[in-house]
Amino acid sequence: MVLTRGMKLVPVAYLASYLLSLLGNSIAGVALPLIVLQVTGSALGAGAVAAATALPAVLAGLVMGVVIDRINRRTSSVVTDLVSAASIAALPVIDLITGLSLGWFILFGIIGSLGDVPGMTARDALLPAIVRHGGIPSERLMGIREALGAVALLLGPAAAGTLMVLFDGSTVLWVTAATSFTAALLTLLIPHRVGTIVGDNEGEGATRASGWAQLRDGWGVLFRSPFLVVTTTLSLASVVVLGSLQGLILPVYFTLLGQPGMLGFVLTALATGTLIGGTIYAIAGSRGRRRTWFLSGLNGSALGFGIVAALPSAWAVFAGAFVAGLSSGLFGSLIGVLMIERIPERMRGRIMGTQNAMLTAAVPVGIVIAAVLTEYAGVNVAAITLGAVWLIAVVLGVAAPSLRNLEPETESTRSSGPAVTESA
């Protein structure tokens, strides 16, 4: 990518590791259910694996935040990638020794889930250090990161489908494990000192505090900060709406139209929009007022989701998805920058671990609610309800006093005090 030219090793290694880790998850998300189906011959088995891994993933996201706040952030990122790689690589090994069964898929699915959400949290917690040591503006870093996330979502399903056609399931699992393992190796290129937690003034007493006490402290900061409460609510609303549209509403809609193939084009339009939005923010995000970027992202996403929710025609949905993706790329990049600046360094693991756990749980909850609405009220009512959810979230974001001043500390925050306090 042209945006990475001239960058130092630290941000390049971080972004490359992020891309490979997300790509591996994207491939596994498509290939693993197909492999379970091939081995067990049961669609219920594939659903059982997904259900069995959901709760451990959420709990791991909550609990492991404490660990991430106690050890080197680079180390925690490497370890979580290795856990993910080992859990996938164990499956073809078991297949060679005893043969696979549903129980093995569930067991290693649970083990792998212990690395997924904590892995996201570890990478998120490492972001301020990448900015400090990498000589890269946070706007540029987050814009590129958002764009690379879209690239992974574009390439992952296509790569999974191609691999499943060309190779047997065990080979595909080896390839998937290799992406997580390579991500860990790339993270090792980042110097160990970069992952050191700075500004840790808690002292020995805090170090001896129980993990539960430290987790409560992190929750106290998260839920008492108006800024974090509103931004977390916006993120939750976004994943509920997007996850429900992708996972249920649009598949049902295009099936009813007799055009199931259009779903792939719509998801591609969404990812392409996100790629362009992230790229725009990486190039120009440091210019102009942040409030302008924020309103552009929110209002643009409201327009895009509104078009999709109306379900006017297949091609209109296609256009709405692109607009929603473009706006989400801007919005997501800016929120990432604000999180870098405003979450206390020593509590990043706990706060972001809780946020990621909530986001992980929100997707299946949203899909279940959308499924109930679709079953009893119809797909159009379900889609409009989701659109209304995002509209309410947009009004909340625009009206929230804590989001009216988004400029960096050097311009305004310094005079009015920090946006997030660490008092317990």
The reply to whether 5 and 137 lie within a common domain is yes
Least confidently predicted of 110-114, 133-137, 339-343: 110-114
| Residue-number span of the structural domain to which 330 is assigned | 221-407
Mean pLDDT in residue range 375-396: 93
Mean pLDDT in residue range 393-421: 72
| Band of residue 206 on the pLDDT scale cut at 50, 70, 90 | very low
pTM above 0.85, yes or no: yes
Mean pLDDT in residue range 173-186: 94
Q: Which residues, at least 6 apart from 71, have a Cβ–Cβ distance to it below 8 Å?
A: none
- pLDDT tens digits, 236-284: 999 999 989 988 899 899 888 888 778 888 889 999 999 999 999 999 9
Q: Which residues, at least 6 apart from 366, have a Cβ–Cβ distance to it below 8 Å?
A: 239, 240, 241, 243, 244, 386
The reply to whether 279 and 395 lie within a common domain is yes
What secondary structure does DSSP assign to 275-314, as a single string? HHHHHHHHHHTTSS-HHHHHHHHHHHHHHHHHHHHH---H
Domain membership of residue 66 (yes or no) is yes
Domain membership of residue 201 (yes or no) is no
Domain membership of residue 15 (yes or no) is yes
The reply to whether 147 and 236 lie within a common domain is no
Q: Which residues, at least 6 apart from 369, have a Cβ–Cβ distance to it below 8 Å?
A: 244
Domain membership of residue 212 (yes or no) is no
Decide which of 148, 178, 194 is a domain's last residue.
194
Domain membership of residue 211 (yes or no) is no
CA distance 92 to 112: 14
Tokens of 407: 């400029």
The reply to whether 233 and 184 lie within a common domain is no
Any idea what the CATH number is for the domain that residue 282 is in? Answer: 1.20.1250.20
The reply to whether 229 and 171 lie within a common domain is no
User: Is-contact 398 390, C-beta < 8 A?
Assistant: no
Domain membership of residue 319 (yes or no) is yes
| Band of residue 61 on the pLDDT scale cut at 50, 70, 90 | confident
Share of the chain above pLDDT 70, in %: 92
User: Is-contact 81 22, C-beta < 8 A?
Assistant: no
Share of the chain above pLDDT 90, in %: 54
The reply to whether 260 and 390 lie within a common domain is yes
Please count the helices (runs of H) and the strands (runs of E) in the chain.
16, 0
The reply to whether 236 and 377 lie within a common domain is yes
User: Is-contact 350 148, C-beta < 8 A?
Assistant: no
Mean pLDDT in residue range 306-332: 93
Phi-psi region of 72 (alpha: psi -120 to 50; beta: other; left: phi over 0): beta
Decide which of 153, 175, 194 is a domain's last residue.
194
Domain membership of residue 272 (yes or no) is yes
Q: How many domains does the chain divide into?
A: 2
- Residue 139: pLDDT above 70? yes
Amino acid at 317: V
| Band of residue 202 on the pLDDT scale cut at 50, 70, 90 | very low
For residue 226, the tally of other CB atoms under 10 A from its CB is: 13
The reply to whether 372 and 309 lie within a common domain is yes
The reply to whether 151 and 240 lie within a common domain is no
410 vs 139, higher pLDDT = 139
The reply to whether 186 and 270 lie within a common domain is no
Q: Is 169 strand, coil or helix?
A: helix
The reply to whether 225 and 184 lie within a common domain is no
CA distance 313 to 320: 10
Tokens of 175: 């390839």
Q: What is the CA radius of gyration of the chain?
A: 21
* pLDDT reported for residue 420: 56
What secondary structure does DSSP assign to 209-277, as a single string? S-HHHHHHHHHHHHHH-HHHHHHHHHHHHHHHHHHHIIIIIHHHHHHHHT-TTHHHHHHHHHHHHHHHH
| Band of residue 1 on the pLDDT scale cut at 50, 70, 90 | very low
The per-residue pLDDT of the chain, averaged, comes to 87
Domain membership of residue 199 (yes or no) is no
The reply to whether 190 and 229 lie within a common domain is no
